Amino acid sequence: MSSAAPIHPGIHLGHEIERHELSKRQTAESLQIGRMTLYRLIKGEADITVELALRLEAGFGIPAVKWLEMQADYDRWQNQVKGSDLSRNPRLVEPETKSQQELNMLF
């Protein structure tokens, strides 16, 4: 992951709304969310949920997994910025060998 801050998916949603010249009222109604929720998303103050990602896929044609990846990247970056120290968490399992990783890919 690069050190540049990833864009919040809600901000990307705002760009999509503008690009397609949609009103926020029309967009909120189509996505079946409140206008305040849409405004919070566009400002990067609300998260993209799985349900919303599926609605965005239906509405904009951008795969739900892409919206969720953007959210995960943003959340991971936010966690790093806050300086979360995960090194104190105990390791639950030993790192896998390459052959174990290949075997796990079958499941």
Predicted confidence at residue 83, as pLDDT, reads 73
Q: What is the pLDDT of residues 45-104, one digit of tens each?
A: 999 999 999 999 999 999 999 999 999 999 999 988 877 666 666 777 777 776 666 766
Q: What is the pTM of this model?
A: 0.76
Predicted confidence at residue 79, as pLDDT, reads 86
Predicted confidence at residue 91, as pLDDT, reads 72
Predicted confidence at residue 1, as pLDDT, reads 45
Q: Which residues contact 53 (CB under 8 A, 6 or more apart)?
A: 64, 65, 67, 68, 71
Q: What is the pLDDT of residues 15-38, one digit of tens each?
A: 999 999 999 999 999 999 999 999
Tell me the CA distances in angstroms from 52 to 33, 42, 71, 87, one per residue in order: 9, 13, 12, 33
